[in-house]
Amino acid sequence: MNAIVAVTQDWGIGRKGDLLINEKADMQHFVRHTRGATVVMGDRTLASFPGGRPLKGRRNVVMTIDPELEAPACPEGTTCEIVHSMDEALAAVADEDPDTVWAIGGASVYRQLLPHCTRAMVTKFETVLPADVYFPNLDEDDAWVLESSEEGGTTADGVAYRFTVYRNTAL
């Protein structure tokens, strides 16, 4: 399994249920890596998508503690299933190629699944914005090493960003 996330300099990822930065190139990066794959997310992440619909062209595994939550209808080529724990999520993806499974948020899902991730693809925006949700700082975690970093560009607001990949040395 891998994780994919966009962070600010202080590893902020969201505020009041929204992403901190919406950058087209970062979204394209996300789609390029997750299309045709399995994405594991929390129920609030699913609810934040347009219409609360699963991501098209992917297997969507949604973690929730809500026993009443039902999987929404999916277009052809898309599936969505509900699980109620980290163990259920891991069991749901156990038979898949780990390189095609992506933890995509939110913060609770990242915290639970990050120890099971081989790599984390992190788009790092060179700014600090008000945030109420953070991704673990991989630069301060001895289990994670920076594997690669490439310039991504600059947002319309003049914020530079990089596409980085971290590898989990504990796995």
Position 119 scores a pLDDT of 98
Do 58 and 80 touch, CB atoms closer than 8 A?
no
- pTM for the model stands at 0.97
3-class SS shares of the chain: helix, strand, coil, % to 5: 25, 35, 40
CA distance 12 to 22: 13
CA distance 5 to 16: 17
21-67 pLDDT tens trace = 999 999 999 999 999 999 999 999 999 999 999 999 999 999 999 99
List residues bridging with 162 in a β-sheet: 124, 151
Q: What is the CATH number of domain 2-8+25-168?
A: 3.40.430.10
Do 109 and 88 touch, CB atoms closer than 8 A?
no
If phi over 0 gives left and psi between -120 and 50 gives alpha, with beta otherwise, what is residue 16? Answer: left
Low-confidence ranges of the chain (pLDDT < 50): none
Sheet harboring 133-134: ordered strands across?
Answer: 18-19, 12-15, 133-134
